[in-house]
Chains A and B, each alone.
Chain A
Amino acid sequence: MRRATVVAEPFPPAPCRGARRLLTAALVVVLMALLIITGATLRRSQQTQKWPAAFSLVTPALWPAGTPRRHPETVHPGVDLRWCAGLESTP
């Protein structure tokens, strides 16, 4: 008895599935990145604004204590910093 083997032809023949996945992935990456960017740039600092007022501070604590940048109120052109409390080592 003869048997006929039918091999189905692929359809669609040129699906370009990888390319479609790449497009989708690119879109997802862009959207996620935009979400992160939007979230980051629209947010205000969580830092409560009342802390500087609470202690009447004039600069943020970005520089080490004891330096003129941290305590600009201690700096004066006519004042020798070697005699200022805590500022002895400041150049």
Chain B
Amino acid sequence: MSGDGGPRWSPLAVWAAREVQREAGRSCLLFAFLFLLVAIIATPMLFSHALAVTWTRWMEQTPHLVVRRIDAGGWAPLPAEAAVHYARKVPGALDPTPRLWGVATGPAGPVTVVTAPADLPAEGLPGQRPPAPGEAVVGRAVADAAVDNHLVLEQMDRVTLAIVATFPDNSVMVTHDLVWVAPPDARRLLGMLPDQASDLAVRLFRSESASAVAADLAAAFPWPVRIIDRDTMTEGLRRRAMGKGVAALMLSLPALLAFLWVMTGAVTGPAGRSAYWGVLSAMGWTTADLVRLQVAKALLVGMPALAVGLAVACGAVFHPMAAAWTAFLLMGTQQLPALALDGSGAVVMLLQIAAVVGLPFLAAVFLTTLRGVEGAARSTMEAGQWH
């Protein structure tokens, strides 16, 4: 029994805690250091991982291929009906969908203009009808920049739109900069004729056949086209996400390892420790007891520090507002939505990070203690502290 209620702790654990109390300043310093170390390492790694997972899931919903007509001057609008006709001739190419979209200049910079979603998510904008000419449904960033609920867009023409709705917050990673307008407004704005589309989105029966179908599609159209495929873009995004995390980690790692070494030395080997261990040894503490005590102390400080560091990293990555700041710091992107990242599969990564920091720390404590305990009993007589 503990003697005064509360959990039943082993005497060694209680004594380890008592020693941590005795060295409160040093213990706090160690806690702060370990916590920062874990948070600094975990945040970029977790962010890049979560971003890659989220993107991968996100990309599963995107078209497999996008066919864009090009000419000597750049991209050119394509005739929608003809494009669909040609695409349908290619085996394996499903649901060719003309997209009418483009980029226009809004009050706070470029925005992405889109039209006619095939199927709005039911939970997104309940009861929302497609915008009529002169109306717009806008993303969060566009809504924030609008004046008096009106939006002026310029590209090939100047169009004034009344904002009738804003996309919901949970769609912000997709709709941050979107302006959903009626097709006539989009054509006016982007300078396209009726029956012209910006490009053609194509789904595939088998995603593995992307390169073969892309070649067939390129041959099927009578104009030069540029085709991008989803897998290439997904891989590029994933590599970019992971690259950012690894780069941030590599930049901080040498300094952090140096800190780890210095701090472990400072914590485990203060002056007078040998004499104290000598007294304990004289009273029957074995080397194993002393190592257990030191490891218990290290765990008592290290475990909460690791856990809090990881929790802070999780907060910085998975809390939508904090994630935007983290993305800003790591990726340098200026206009960021509140990221809602996917946490799936991050447990293994968190365990790896805990091991990367925790195991060297425990090993340093273990080895330093073993070295310090050597000859501890004899030091009882020789240490100046007792004389």
Contacts and interface: CB of A to CB of B under 8 A. Distances in A.
Do A and B touch (CB < 8 Å)?
Answer: yes
A73 B55 CA distance: 17
Nearest to B190: A85
A72 interface: yes
Contacts of B121: 48, 50-51, 54
Contacts of B173: 47, 60-62
Contact of B14 (A20, A47, A62): A20
A33 B13 contact: no
Given A40-B318, A49-B57, A73-B66, A59 B233 contact: yes
A33 B17 contact: no
A5 interface: no
A7 interface: no
Given A51-B124, A51-B175, A76-B70, A60 B311 contact: no
Nearest to B5: A20
14 contacts: A20-B9, A26-B17, A41-B314, A41-B343, A45-B54, A45-B340, A47-B54, A51-B175, A55-B114, A57-B62, A58-B63, A61-B177, A61-B337, A62-B339
Interface in B34-60: 54-55, 57-60
B151 to A, nearest CB: 14
Nearest to B301: A26
A61 B21 contact: no
B275 to A, nearest CB: 22
Interface of A: 12, 15-20, 22-24, 26-27, 29-30, 32-34, 36-38, 40-66, 70-74, 76, 78-81, 83-87
Interface stretch (B78-86, B263-271, B328-336): B328-336
Given A37-B307, A49-B61, A85 B228 contact: no
Given A36-B315, A40-B318, A41-B347, A22 B21 contact: yes
B344 to A, nearest CB: 6
B314 A37 contact: yes
Given A49-B61, A61-B178, A86 B102 contact: yes
Residue of A26, A29, A42, A55 most packed against chain B (CB within 10 A): A55
A65 B109 contact: yes
B109 A66 contact: yes
Contacts of B226: 73, 76, 79
A29 B119 CA distance: 46
A43 B323 CA distance: 15
A66 B55 CA distance: 20
Q: Which of B74, B190, B233 has the most CB of A within 10 A?
A: B74
Given A47-B171, A50-B121, A29 B315 contact: no
Given A64-B110, A76-B226, A59 B68 contact: no
B178 A46 contact: no
Nearest to A83: B74
Contact of A47 (B18, B68, B111, B340): B340
Contacts of A23: 7, 9, 13-14, 17, 300
Interface string B346-358: 1100100000000
B208 interface: no
